[in-house]
C-alpha cells in the first residue's frame, strides 16, 4: 500500500486541473479533485432520475418503493413516491442539512432527520436524498491499492450522517466500487456496494445498482436500482416547501 501521488491521475483528470489546484487546509493533495470527479461521474450536477428501492428482510420478505428524484446544484434534492399505492404522492425535500416529508392530506410538511428513513431498511434519508460527497466531506487521505484508489473522507460538520467514509473507486473510471460508512470511533455502520455499470446517455456512465448491508442489521439487505438518470435543469421553485405537493407536475 502506498500514498497516491496526484500525477498518477493526470490522464483521467487533466494535468492542468490537478497541478494548478491548491489543496484546501487539512485535505490530501489532489484528493478534492478526485472526489469532485467521482461526484460528477456518479451524477450530473442537476438531474432527474427514476429508481427503485428494495428492502429485503432475513425471512425473505421484500418491500419495494419507486421514486422520481430531482437534484439541483450541490444542496437541493427532492423525491416523489410513485409506488406502492399506499405511499403514492408522498414527497421529500432536502435543502443542505434540512429535510422534510410531505404526506398528502396530512397538512404541512414535517421535518425529518438524516438518520431516519422514509422507506425503512438500511438506507437512511441521507442515502436517499444524497448530496455530492464533496459538499459534506473533506479528503483526509488518498492511497493506491492496485487497480483501485481509496479515499478516506472526514465529515465537515457534525450534521452529516456519517463521521467518516472510505470510498474505494476504480482508478480508470473513477467510479465507486464500495463505500464504507463509519462513526467517529471508526465503527462500521454500513457498506454500499456499487454494481452493474450502465451507460445512461448524455455521457452518464455509472453503476445501476447500489446494494447495502450493515453489521447493525444482520440478515437485512437494501438495494437501490436506477432505471433512468439524465441531466436536467429546474426552476428554483421546485425546491421549496410549497412545491412539495406538486412534484408530479414536472415529470416528463
- State pLDDT tens for residues 4-14: 443 343 334 34
Q: Which three cell numbers stand for residue 17?
A: 486541473
Give the CA count within 13 Å in the CB-facing half-sphere of 69.
27
- State pLDDT tens for residues 152-185: 999 999 889 999 999 999 999 999 999 999 999 9
Domains and CATH numbers, the chain: 9-18+25-44+132-231 (2.50.20.10), 50-129 (2.50.20.10)
Residue 68: the pLDDT is 98
Single pTM value for the model: 0.85
Place of cell 428524484: 69
Q: Which of 234, 199, 220 is nearest to 69 (CA)?
A: 234
- State pLDDT tens for residues 67-86: 999 999 989 999 999 999 99
Residue 24: the pLDDT is 41
Q: How many other C-beta atoms are found inside a 10 Å radius of the C-beta of residue 230? A: 14
C-alpha distances out from residue 12 to 132, 137, 180, Å: 19, 22, 24
C-alpha distances out from residue 235 to 73, 76, 240, 250, Å: 12, 12, 10, 10
Task: Please return the burial class of 235, using the count of CB atoms within 10 Å of its CB with bins 0-12, 13-18 and 19+.
Answer: exposed
Amino acid at each position: 500500500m502506498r500514498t497516491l501521488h496526484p500525477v498518477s491521475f493526470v490522464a483521467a483528470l487533466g494535468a492542468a486541473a490537478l497541478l494548478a489546484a491548491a489543496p484546501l487546509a487539512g485535505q490530501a493533495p489532489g484528493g478534492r479533485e478526485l472526489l469532485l470527479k467521482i461526484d460528477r461521474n456518479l451524477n450530473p450536477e442537476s438531474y432527474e432520475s427514476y429508481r427503485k428501492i428494495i428492502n429485503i428482510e432475513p425471512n425473505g420478505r421484500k418491500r419495494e418503493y419507486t421514486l422520481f428524484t430531482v437534484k439541483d446544484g450541490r444542496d437541493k434534492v427532492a423525491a416523489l413516491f410513485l409506488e406502492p399505492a399506499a405511499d403514492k404522492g408522498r414527497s421529500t425535500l432536502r435543502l443542505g442539512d434540512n429535510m422534510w416529508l410531505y404526506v398528502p392530506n396530512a397538512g404541512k410538511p414535517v421535518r425529518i432527520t438524516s438518520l431516519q428513513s422514509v422507506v425503512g431498511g438500511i438506507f437512511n434519508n441521507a442515502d436517499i436524498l444524497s448530496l455530492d460527497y464533496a459538499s459534506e466531506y473533506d479528503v483526509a487521505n488518498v492511497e493506491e491499492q492496485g487497480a483501485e484508489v481509496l479515499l478516506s473522507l472526514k465529515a465537515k460538520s457534525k450534521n452529516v450522517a456519517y463521521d467518516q467514509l472510505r470510498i474505494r473507486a476504480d482508478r480508470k473510471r473513477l467510479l465507486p466500487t464500495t463505500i464504507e460508512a463509519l462513526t467517529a470511533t471508526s465503527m462500521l455502520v454500513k457498506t454500499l456496494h456499487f454494481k452493474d455499470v450502465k451507460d445512461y446517455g448524455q455521457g452518464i456512465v455509472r453503476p445501476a445498482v447500489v446494494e447495502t448491508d450493515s453489521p447493525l442489521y444482520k440478515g437485512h439487505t437494501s438495494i437501490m436500482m436506477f432505471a433512468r438518470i439524465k441531466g436536467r435543469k429546474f426552476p428554483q421553485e421546485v425546491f421549496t416547501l410549497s412545491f412539495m405537493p406538486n412534484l408530479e407536475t414536472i415529470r416528463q
